[in-house]
Amino acid sequence: MKKNEINELLKDLAEDADIDDVVKGNETLSKLFEKDLTIDDVKNFLDSNEDGKKYLQQYGDTRVTDGIKSWQKNNLQKLIDDAVSKTNPQETPEQKMIRELQEKFEQSEKQRTQETLRNKALKVATEKKLPGDLIDYLIGQDEETTLKNLDNFNDIYSKTISQAIEEKLKGGYKPPSGDPTPVDESKMTDDEWFAAHQEK
């Protein structure tokens, strides 16, 4: 029986009509309800009928989707965790301790190297009469880089001072005017007398 035949059969029924009576009154429908369906009837319907095939496809898709979701829920996180563990294996306590000691040793070596470079840079800066306040900015990763930085700074520093002196002298040197006021050395303390004679 086709759907349009069932629709035709049911279209004139009142809202409160008993459908059982209509089914029993129709020969095709009454045979469906009298007959006990076997598994072969169901298989035949699902294999040969278009509606049956559609239902079977939808049912299969739903079951497969549900199966995948269930598998993901139960297994996927474990597989991810296992893969992460293989690429980043967990450290044993001994491995962790060795790694931490190695990091401390490397940090200590780095600090020792920096201190050695700083001392060398201070010595060179003192010899070249460079300001010691800037030493930390001139220290490189090794002695060669540090010395190069100091040489570059020395060149720039010397040029800057020379330019400043030239700028000052452009207007010409003007010595202080008038004679210096004589100082009565007899009224000076020993420290003042010594300081005055050091300047001369």
pLDDT for the residue 103: 92
pLDDT for the residue 27: 64
* Mean of per-residue pLDDT scores for the chain: 78
Answer whether 0.75 is exceeded by the pTM. Answer: no
- Pairwise CA distance, residues 80 & 93, whole Å: 24
For the chain, where are the alpha helices, taking DSSP H only? 3-10, 19-25, 27-34, 39-48, 50-71, 77-87, 93-127, 135-138, 143-169, 190-199
Both tokens assigned to 56: 């079977």
pLDDT per residue over 97-106, tens digit each? 898 999 999 9
pLDDT for the residue 19: 67
CA distances from residue 116 to 125, 139, 182 in whole angstroms, order as listed: 14, 10, 53
pLDDT per residue over 33-74, tens digit each? 665 667 777 777 778 888 778 877 887 888 888 888 888 888
**Percentage, residues of the chain above pLDDT 70:** 70
DSSP string, 105-139: HHHHHHHHHHHHHHHHHHHHHHHTT--GGGHHHH-
Angular region, 14: left φ>0, alpha ψ -120 to 50, beta rest:
beta
